[in-house]
Homo-oligomer: A and B are copies of this chain.
Amino acid sequence: MQVITTEMVQKVIVKRPANSHKGQFGRVLIIGGNQQYGGAAMMSAEAAVNAGAGLVTVMTDQINLTSLHARLPEAMFVDYQAPTNQLAQTIRNADVIVIGPGLGLTAHALMLLQLTFKTVTATQTLLVDGSALTLVAKHHLPLPNTQLILTPHQMEWSRLSQLPIAHQTISANQQSLAQLGQPILVLKKHHTEIYHDQAVYQLTIGTPALATGGSGDTLTGIIAAFCGQFQTSIATVNAAVYTHSAISDQLAQTQYVTLPTQIIQALPAFMAKLSQS
């Protein structure tokens, strides 16, 4: 198990080519946000925009449209109650899809997850988070053939892998991932672990100032934006996970808690510093 270092992250967050346009930096789609948990999808989208995604669309309940735009006019909106063929078209248009933040566990949430699994192709990246992971476990959904990233807490991973938390050893986790088709796994815990094939990385930075609602949603947006810009790989996911905690660590020098919206605002400056050094 290797520790993620600043040097590794600097190799990922490279300077942009002078002649480039937003289309090259990823079309990110966030699917989530029911009436109760709409903020989760917003934080994911705000993180994606601030982490440099070229274009960000949020597929969510219509009730979240106004608060989304009041916070983030940069995002585009798709009503997640729209006809299925429109939803599928939106999914096909994305380079990176996040499903889960604030999605909930209703029949409609399940339909959206199944539609996403049916629609994504091997050239797209799909991040499955939060309630979407719970739905996968509960309904025994087979995972799709795509560049897949899973971001469970230990309890969520337990439901997916059937491994009780005490049994979540590196080798047991790797065996489970092989059975799941080798997705990238971000196993969120005190020292988060990132798995892909034989590689295992560990995050050793981060403070309890990050222990607040919305931190996980924010992380999904950063991972998505990084995959949209820097190619999907364990190195890119490592960089995103590290960036999220490193910003919190910086803020925590002067703050007791580091809120999602504060971490989001600090993304452009943090990324500049790493890409320039």
Task: Write the residues of chain A forming the contact surface with B, with a CB cutoff of 8 angstroms.
Answer: 13, 16-22, 24-25, 35-40, 42-43, 46, 49-56, 63-79, 190, 207-209, 211-215, 252-262, 267-269, 271-273, 275
The 10 closest A-B pairs by CB, nearest first: A39-B73, A256-B271, A16-B208, A67-B69, A255-B268, A70-B70, A67-B70, A42-B73, A19-B190, A55-B213
Point out the residues of chain B lying under 8 angstroms from A212, CB to CB: 22, 25, 49, 52-55, 74
Which of B54, B66, B254 makes the CB contact (< 8 A) with A213?
A: B54
Point out the residues of chain B lying under 8 angstroms from A22, CB to CB: 211-213, 215
Minimum CB–CB distance for A53 against chain B, Å:
8
Which of B46, B208, B256 makes the CB contact (< 8 A) with A17?
A: B208
Point out the residues of chain B lying under 8 angstroms from A77, CB to CB: 35-38
CB distance A256 to B52 under 8 Å? yes
Q: Which of A40, A78, A215, A257 lies at the interface centre, i.e. has the most chain B CB atoms within 10 A of its CB? A: A257
Which residue of chain B is the closest to A271 with respect to CB atoms?
B256
Complex Cα gap A59–B17 (Å)? 37
Other contacts beyond A36-B78, A49-B212: 4, CB < 8 A: A66-B66, A67-B68, A67-B73, A254-B268
